[in-house]
Amino acid sequence: MQAPGDPAFGHHAPDPSRVVTLHEDHMDKTRPDRRDAAPALGLGAVPKRTGQELTRRASLLGALGATLVALSGCGVGDEWFGEVKPPLRGKREATTTVRHGMSVDEGGDRRVTLPAPVRNAAWPQTGGNPAHLMGHLAASERLARSWSSGIGTGGGYRRKILAQPVVADGLVYTMDSDAVVTAFDVTSGSRAWRVDTKNEDADSTNIGGGMAIAEGVLYAVNGLAELVALDAKTGQQRYRKSFSVPARSAPTVVDGRLFFTTIDDRLLAMATADGRRLWSYQGRASQIALLGQAAPAYADGIVIAGFGSGNLVALRAESGRIAWSDGIGATRAATSVADLSAIHALPVIHNNRVFVVSVGGLTVAFDLRSGRRLWEREFGGSETPWLAGDWMFVVSAEQQLAAINATDGRIAWVTVLPRWENEEKSKDPIQWVGPILAGDRLIVACSRGGREALAVSPYSGKILGRQSLPGTASLAPIVASGTVFQITDDASLLALR
């Protein structure tokens, strides 16, 4: 049980060094930091690393394990993020030497400033909106489990839940590993309807795809080469369209068009009205494919798509004509996991800039119009960066969580997240998904090894609290109407408010 004054996932104290852009009446309520309440893990500068060295191959294998493995675990408590467990006795040191790790940039103003939290009523597509930019979202100071429901079939052999949930008009929608879509009431968790999007004669495994909602229609793209349009309130089918190869990304919907990628590195543009194909773009093929791909980003008439080859392409949404392209992965062909250069994280568009993280070890900010590189850093990963104000928060392949200035790429703080279940022997790796930013805290969840989520200060990187999950989570949580929704690999949907 949580002791009075202990930092929790919800009820946490801000850091004294933080600078927050808030209303003046809110600024008066800032409380002093309780620094003795939680251990600091790699706050500010990265701690000295000693012990076993990991090569780039090992780092990539670990990072991609979350994309390939699904586990399940124990039950979840009623309240999120109680007391932070005390550290084990003895001197703590990071157990890995990272080839492409992050470190704090000394000098200059490293104070993290954020806009005030904003309450969003919906999360209608993967990434929240076409630009994958949601900013600082509102959530309660104390988050407790409101309800949980089963969404269908979980992860297992040749199965994985890859579709992020979406929320609109009082319903939250999920797609399980067997391409079954379910709608739940946001308030109670009761099931509104359930539809199997597979054809009756389908005998293939569903891997990939996702959902998006626009104007009362839910568009489900599955890994069986089908687009299914459903009435968002009733689940009644509007139309069904087949295409030649399975989808791998979730769809991005905007201005009457759907954009998504397929297993053969093709970007398709389809009309939302009837599912007809408008245009397609064939990316450079890659020999090794990840489970799931990044949904394209969109802003100001430009579609940004990343591919398994590490190529990033900007296309005119109207015609599919190339505006610019760049390669941010390995230059040689990928023949092993160590050579992977795929773009698995969602591209994010903010202030006419495109932010992209590649598996191959490079993070780059581009000018949206020209494709000019504005800055780049030698670290990579498979998790989508989160941007709010002038700051970007990202989890790297080496399981480092960092705050990066979006303007110049300078790093303000780095926190080394727990890396091993057995730290002494560097066994049983832990991988993290996220982050999201909600209610003045970053949230990351375990996708492999552990079964918990962490709350982290966006201002200092300090770990504020943690909470058990019923299973591992390969998908980052989402936020809508002040509620945090988390899907676990054992097919549970948790609502916390």
**Contact (Cβ atoms closer than 8 angstroms) between residue 163 and residue 174:** yes
Q: Among 120-129, 397-406, 463-472, where is mean pLDDT lowest?
A: 463-472
β-pairing, 322-327 with 311-316? Answer: antiparallel
Q: Give CA–CA dist 379/341, Å, rounded.
A: 12
Q: Which residue has the tokens 């390995």?
A: 330
Confidence of residue 341 (pLDDT cuts 50, 70, 90): low
Bridge partners, 373 (sequence order): 366
DSSP labels, 142-205: S-BEEEEEE-S---BTTB---PPPEEETTEEEEE-TTSEEEEEETTT--EEEEEE-S-TT--S-
Tokens linked to 72 = 């399940």
- Average pLDDT of the segment spanning 386-404: 97
Residue 220: its pLDDT value, please?
97
Burial class (CB in 10 A: 0-12, 13-18, 19+), 235: middle
Helix (H, G, I), strand (E, B), or coil: what is residue 79? Answer: strand
CATH of 19-496, one of 1.10.340.30, 2.130.10.10, 3.30.300.30, 1.40.20.10: 2.130.10.10
Residue 371: its pLDDT value, please?
98
DSSP state, 338? G
Does residue 265 surpass a pLDDT of 50? yes
**Contact (Cβ atoms closer than 8 angstroms) between residue 48 and residue 97:** no
Does residue 83 surpass a pLDDT of 60? no
The per-residue pLDDT for range 172-216, each reduced to its tens digit, is: 999 999 999 999 999 999 999 999 998 877 666 667 789 999 999
Give me the amino acid identity at 365: A
Sign of CA dihedral 329, 206, 446, 164: positive
Residue 362: its pLDDT value, please?
93
Tokens linked to 321 = 């004509």
Q: Among 60-69, 134-143, 150-159, 160-169, where is mean pLDDT lowest?
A: 60-69
Q: How many helices (H) and strands (E) does the chain have?
A: 2, 36
Residue 204: its pLDDT value, please?
63
Residue 5: its pLDDT value, please?
32
Tokens linked to 233 = 């309130």
Q: Is 336 left (phi over 0), alpha (psi -120 to 50) or beta?
A: beta
Share of the chain above pLDDT 70, in %: 74
Bridge partners, 313 (sequence order): 305, 325
Cis ω on the peptide bond leading into residue 435 (within 30° of 0)?
A: yes
Confidence of residue 267 (pLDDT cuts 50, 70, 90): very high
Q: Give CA–CA dist 278/307, Å, rounded.
A: 20
DSSP state, 100? T
Give me the amino acid identity at 263: I
Q: Which residue has the tokens 């467990």?
A: 85
Q: Give CA–CA dist 118/440, Å, rounded.
A: 11
Confidence of residue 113 (pLDDT cuts 50, 70, 90): very high
Q: Which residue has the tokens 């709350």?
A: 455
Does residue 19 surpass a pLDDT of 50? no
Q: Give CA–CA dist 455/57, Å, rounded.
A: 29
Does residue 37 surpass a pLDDT of 60? no
- Calculate the average pLDDT of the chain: 80
- Average pLDDT of the segment spanning 61-81: 40
Share of the chain above pLDDT 90, in %: 56
The per-residue pLDDT for range 269-301, each reduced to its tens digit, is: 999 999 999 999 998 877 665 566 899 999 999
Question: Of 345, 363, 441, nearest to 132 (Cα)?
Answer: 345
Q: Among 69-73, 162-166, 228-232, where is mean pLDDT lowest?
A: 69-73
pLDDT, greater one: 330 or 327? 327
Residue 468: its pLDDT value, please?
80
pLDDT, greater one: 308 or 339? 308
**Contact (Cβ atoms closer than 8 angstroms) between residue 251 and residue 212:** yes
